[in-house]
Amino acid sequence: MKKRVAVLISGRGSNMTALIEAAKAKDYPAEIVVVVSNRPDAAGLGRAQQAGIATALIDHTAFGKDREAFERALDAQLQARQIDIVCLAGFMRLLTPWFVERWSGRMINIHPALLPQFKGLDTHRRVLEAGVEEHGATVHFVSAGMDEGPVILQKSVPVLGSDSEATLAARVLEVEHQIYPQALRMVAEGRARLP
Ligand code: GRF
């Protein structure tokens, strides 16, 4: 039985697309059942529809400041589709402890840096400013703190002297698209789990 996966997005959805592509393989242990966006203008919604995947829009602005009300609507969507695993893929909402706890061990995220270094936004710019020689991407279980939680997979890329934010981002994105499907496979097969 394949694990039933929901991918949560807010934007272009290139990691979402990588997961959809990987899940086409017969022996892949997970199927992408639904893509959920909190933003109506997320380009990934159209890409998911083109790929024949069900989509849902849960616009967080409709819930004002009530984060939990938004998350209850999201959770209802996930329950209705009998989701086993949630993949955050460029999902730009902080989640409350209630939601994180509810999906503990069953929710993973991709971050464009070698965690625990460079949590948060603008990682490529900050990496260039810091002058480090190595950068990369991380897939991790989601826990209460932002960009925290046990690492499932990481892959590094070199930072070149000639790099701009854009060239570095593109190099990192390429490895994101490699490790996210690999990490989801590990979770779906029970080879990666919370201690
Ligand atoms: C990726 O760099 C991801 O690591 C970060 O947000 C970006 C989303 O890009 N969390 P995309 O929507 O998957 O193309």
pLDDT at 129: 98
Q: Which residues line ligand 1 (CB under 6 A)?
A: 9, 11-16, 44, 89-90, 110-112, 173, 176
Instruction: Find the distance separating the first CA and the last CA of the chain, reported in whole Å.
Output: 24
Q: Tell me the per-residue pLDDT of 28-81, one tens digit each, with 9 for 90 and over.
A: 999 999 999 999 999 999 999 999 999 999 999 999 999 999 999 999 999 999
Residues 6+ apart with CB under 8 A from 189: 29
DSSP state of 149: S
Q: Could you tell me if residue 121 is left (phi over 0), alpha (psi between -120 and 50 degrees) or otherwise beta? A: beta
pLDDT at 123: 98
pLDDT at 146: 85
Which residues is 138 bridged to in the sheet? 111, 154
pLDDT at 107: 98
Q: Tell me the per-residue pLDDT of 85-110, one tens digit each, with 9 for 90 and over.
A: 999 999 999 999 999 999 999 999 99
177 given a catalytic annotation: no
pLDDT at 52: 98
Q: Is 135 a residue whose pLDDT tops 90?
A: yes
Q: Is 6 a residue whose pLDDT tops 90?
A: yes
pTM score above 0.85: yes
Q: Which of 17, 32, 35, 110 for mutating ligand 1's site (highest number of atoms within 8 Å of CB)?
A: 110
CB 64 within 8 A of CB 73: no
Q: Tell me the per-residue pLDDT of 142-191, one tens digit each, with 9 for 90 and over.
A: 998 888 999 999 999 999 999 999 999 999 999 999 999 999 999 999 99
pLDDT at 21: 98
